[in-house]
A and B are shown apart, each in its own frame.
Chain A
């Protein structure tokens, strides 16, 4: 198992190199340039040229790429053009905030999805199945930024129950596990968990249903095994497929929270990316995208390893 994990880890190196190249190319292919975003509209060309030289944007792209790759490999990531702050600090703090939100949304979405999906698969009456399928359908169909705004209007503006924005109360710094901070998480968590809830509910329902129709389940029932014990077997057999989808969904939560974080002014990677895009802050854009891509790769690796542990039959050669 350790060897398998190590081998997969080594495979990640060329992938990471490819990702870094892609990230750099995409960021530089976008129209506009970094300097134009930090100077006012009527800045003289002489000043723009001077700043390009200062930040190294006057060099050919391959030179810029290898220079960036060099500092990135040391964990430096450079400094933000917009704020002058180290990119590693910016991305680090933002990534921590995003992870908090993603874990909370992942926990809510996956727990509910397993309960609802299993209930629908086991349902003897069509109404339960239809109800759960409808919830799943709404989950995958509703635009989550729209839902976020609706949640804010209802629970913050009309009912005044929950704060509409920010990481925590106005006099606190950073995130802590206490009620005032949890209050700030409730609405973004709901909005962020809706899509994975829909996707996972459908996946769990169909996978469990498929396993339930397997011959071994009939055999177990014929042997007189209790329902609880049969459920354990069913879940174990359904787990590999569900885990694969969960891995992708968890990755999407990390990378796809840009709109939710913007609506709730949640200072995570999505909020950081949004601001960096409009400021053409290339070091921040590159650093954030690279960290997110790296996390996605590691998450997939972890899921693969867990899948193999759960079901050794699917061990890749």
Chain B
């Protein structure tokens, strides 16, 4: 058939096209899902895709992530700081020892003054270098940080509002831009965005808005084990999944993020490699826990969790999800040992609803706010329709309030008692959550003190016992005790079936067989430094 099409094309005069441009050796070309180049000034936008491609590539944090292993959950490791510890006798003060000899891409030095200057950049809106765009992306990631000062050239002291053993995780989200470059660019962050300077393994060669970002190897990178093998990385914004798939199959890029599940067989047929791995992502329903909501009854919550045929959902997604059994997946260090096994058991779900006093004429009414698309939302419409069928089959009266992604986010900025949720009449929301660190996974979502606007406990869950468990984890400075405390938190949350847990994404990306050396870490972030092109 295609032979005929080719002949037809000759007739149209289209085959005069020369062969596709030859690939550069050592250049990796990536099709991102973002519609524009994520911010390059330091704190990226576009969610964790931004952190992945313009964060940990161009910059470093005091605390970096170890992304070298595929078979274990990524954890933090020393970055621009070589060590950190709370000050003796005062658990609210932390000392960070800085790495010496680190150079920015422009050859200037990294030291304590740079750390202070960058913290002021995002946390002190009176400072000359304050950048609201970077502040918007980073402030909520360091919710307990209230003070900072340089002790000497290579030591800084950071103060937290409360004793927070998990504070080092927070510091993995703050990147350090070069102050000298900001001065050189006329103290204008928009100009810095065109020619940013960081300490990361890649430096920026050229940024063409909405078209591409060109990165090249920084030979002077401080971590000699992570000096990139690649000469260059080119990043292209391609929001449309079909475009990304076609670009990969046509050889215009070597790597694409999030291929559409129905394109996977075609990509495999075209010789492409599909790389997946579990990572801290949670696709669930966050219910309203205010008086009058059917979700306040644990039997209803458990019934919903037991009503969902996750294996069928996985089939719908072409095997690109993990069947959820909690906030984190089984095998995760925080999973613990819940006694409530989240599985598909419609008979048990029906029984629980009957015990809770519901019947065919008196069904629990649930209305879930869902989005049509969105970062981390996977395929929200078909997935939600599938779950709706499952829920209604056991006796729920499940409806949706469908909205655009941004509108759903706006709704979640107020608690369930806010005007937006009341107007929509919803008693649950479907926003996928990154559960990268303990604060993201538990504190902001389940702690009674973190109802919006302070956190993301949208459903106003108030459980003093759970609050105490979460507080204990944040106050456990011993690593083993901290892990035990986090396991206890997760065990309790699952046993209470506080949310309806449905899926964990498998982070699919497709790449040409020419891409070698990539290790897909169990993380939202990935390391591009060990990659080379055959």
Is residue B6 within 8 Å, beta carbon to beta carbon, of the partner chain?
Answer: yes
**B residues near A51, Cβ cutoff 8 Å:** 132, 135-136
Is residue A164 within 8 Å, beta carbon to beta carbon, of the partner chain?
Answer: yes
The complex places the Cα of A22 from the Cα of B136 at a distance, in Å, of 30
A interface, how many residues as a size bin? 35 or more
A residues in contact (CB < 8 Å) with B:
31-33, 35-48, 50-51, 54-55, 79, 82-86, 90, 93-94, 149, 152-167, 169-170, 173, 179-180, 183, 186, 262-265, 267, 271-272, 274-275, 278-280
Could you say which of A90, A152, A280 contacts B406, with CB atoms under 8 Å apart? A280
The complex places the Cα of A165 from the Cα of B20 at a distance, in Å, of 12
Could you say which of A38, A43, A158, A183 contacts B17, with CB atoms under 8 Å apart? A183
Q: Return 30 A-B CB contacts under 8 Å, by A number.
A: A31-B404, A40-B140, A43-B139, A43-B413, A44-B140, A44-B143, A45-B452, A50-B135, A51-B136, A83-B39, A83-B193, A85-B190, A93-B209, A152-B243, A157-B270, A160-B20, A163-B250, A164-B243, A164-B247, A165-B236, A167-B211, A173-B206, A180-B18, A180-B21, A186-B17, A267-B210, A275-B35, A275-B36, A278-B35, A279-B36
Q: How many Å from the CB of B6 to the closest CB on chain A?
A: 6
Against A, the Cβ 8 Å flags (1 = close, 0 = not) of B5-22 are 110010000110110110
Chain B positions 421-469 with a Cβ under 8 Å from a chain A Cβ: 431, 444, 452-456
The complex places the Cα of A153 from the Cα of B17 at a distance, in Å, of 16
B410 touches A32 (CB 8 A): yes
Against A, the Cβ 8 Å flags (1 = close, 0 = not) of B380-421 are 000000000000000000000001111101101100000000
A47 touches B139 (CB 8 A): yes
A41 touches B431 (CB 8 A): yes
A153 touches B9 (CB 8 A): no
Tell whether A149 pairs with B236 under 8 Å between CB atoms, given A36-B409, A169-B21.
no
B444 touches A164 (CB 8 A): no
Could you say which of B240, B413, B431 contacts A263, with CB atoms under 8 Å apart? B240
A166 touches B406 (CB 8 A): no
B5 touches A154 (CB 8 A): yes
CB nearest neighbor in A for B194:
A85
Chain B positions 311-368 with a Cβ under 8 Å from a chain A Cβ: none
A48 touches B453 (CB 8 A): yes
A39 touches B137 (CB 8 A): yes
B413 touches A48 (CB 8 A): yes
B250 touches A41 (CB 8 A): no
A84 touches B133 (CB 8 A): yes
The complex places the Cα of A265 from the Cα of B236 at a distance, in Å, of 9
Could you say which of A32, A35, A79, A263 contacts B242, with CB atoms under 8 Å apart? A263
Could you say which of B239, B405, B407 contacts A275, with CB atoms under 8 Å apart? B239
The complex places the Cα of A29 from the Cα of B403 at a distance, in Å, of 15
A263 touches B9 (CB 8 A): no
The complex places the Cα of A262 from the Cα of B243 at a distance, in Å, of 8
Is residue B174 within 8 Å, beta carbon to beta carbon, of the partner chain?
Answer: no
Closest A-B pairs by Cβ, 6 of them: A45-B453, A275-B35, A164-B246, A42-B456, A32-B406, A156-B250
Tell whether A170 pairs with B29 under 8 Å between CB atoms, given A44-B139, A46-B453, A47-B139.
yes
A186 touches B14 (CB 8 A): yes
A265 touches B189 (CB 8 A): no
Q: How many Å from the CB of A171 to the closest CB on chain B?
A: 8
Tell whether A157 pairs with B140 under 8 Å between CB atoms, given A32-B404, A37-B406, A48-B453.
no
Could you say which of B140, B209, B246 contacts A156, with CB atoms under 8 Å apart? B246
B410 touches A271 (CB 8 A): no
The complex places the Cα of A165 from the Cα of B133 at a distance, in Å, of 30
B193 touches A41 (CB 8 A): no
**B residues near A47, Cβ cutoff 8 Å:** 135-136, 139-140
